[in-house]
């Protein structure tokens, strides 16, 4: 039986969402050197051009992800995180598919992302590759970094 996941545009006013963002940042700093962490905190997720979506199963927060508008035709995925108790249950894939659907709805022609290169990021890399993302070079001010993997998907 497939989970019923509900997606909401989120204003980060609820404690469970802020706690998941804090957990996300904690994980990023545990897996990469500080200068290689590009995850957004709550303030950056509230900036103009960034839309955060939360994923819910019933009343339980299952995950989150953001779409940052780079320009009229390009977006960047940010802050993809699945709550620990929902790992390996399809929430990450559902969030990714929902964010890509939103990018298409906005008329974007490509979506970009930066993620880590160390072993804790292997599941994320597999997810993105299975969705058709291909590795590319740095974009939008990022620089080559052995702790970063850059990817792009043409829509």
Contact 133, 151 (CB under 8 A): yes
Indicate whether 54 belongs to any domain: yes
Indicate whether 123 belongs to any domain: no
Question: What pLDDT is recorded for position 116?
Answer: 96
Domain interval for residue 46: 6-112
Indicate whether 33 belongs to any domain: yes
Indicate whether 66 belongs to any domain: yes
pLDDT bucket at 3, cuts 50 / 70 / 90: confident
pLDDT, one tens digit per residue, over 57-88 is: 999 999 999 999 999 999 999 999 999 999 99
Indicate whether 152 belongs to any domain: no
Indicate whether 148 belongs to any domain: no
Indicate whether 70 belongs to any domain: yes
Q: What are phi and psi of 140, to 5 degrees?
A: 45, 50
Contact 51, 9 (CB under 8 A): yes
Would you say residue 1 has pLDDT above 60? no
Which residues, at least 6 apart from 129, have a Cβ–Cβ distance to it below 8 Å?
A: 151
Of 111, 117, 116, give the one whose Cα is nearest residue 134. 111
CA distances, 68 to each of 44, 52, 87 (Å): 10, 9, 24
pTM (whole model) above 0.85: yes
Indicate whether 127 belongs to any domain: no
Q: Tell me what the mean pLDDT of segment 24-28 comes to.
A: 96
How many structural domains are present in the chain?
A: 1
Query: pLDDT averaged over the chain?
Result: 96
Q: How does DSSP assign 95-147, residue by residue?
A: HHHHHHHHHHHTT-SEEEEEEE-SGGGHHHHHHHHHTT-EEE---TT----TT
Residue 21 sits in a domain whose CATH number is 3.40.630.30
């Amino acid at each position: 039986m497939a989970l019923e996941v509900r997606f909401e545009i989120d204003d980060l006013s609820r404690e469970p969402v802020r706690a998941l963002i804090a957990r996300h940042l904690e994980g990023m700093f545990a897996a990469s050197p500080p200068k290689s962490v590009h995850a957004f905190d709550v303030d950056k997720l509230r900036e103009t051009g960034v839309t955060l979506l939360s994923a819910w199963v019933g009343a339980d927060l299952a995950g989150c992800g953001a779409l940052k508008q780079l320009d009229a035709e390009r977006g960047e995925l940010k802050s993809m995180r699945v709550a620990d108790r929902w790992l390996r249950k399809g929430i990450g894939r559902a969030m990714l598919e929902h964010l890509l659907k939103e990018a298409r709805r906005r008329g974007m022609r490509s979506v970009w992302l930066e993620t880590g290169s160390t072993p804790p990021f292997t599941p994320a890399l597999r997810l993105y590759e299975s969705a058709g993302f291909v590795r590319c070079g740095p974009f939008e001010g990022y620089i080559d970094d052995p702790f970063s993997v850059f990817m792009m998907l043409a829509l």
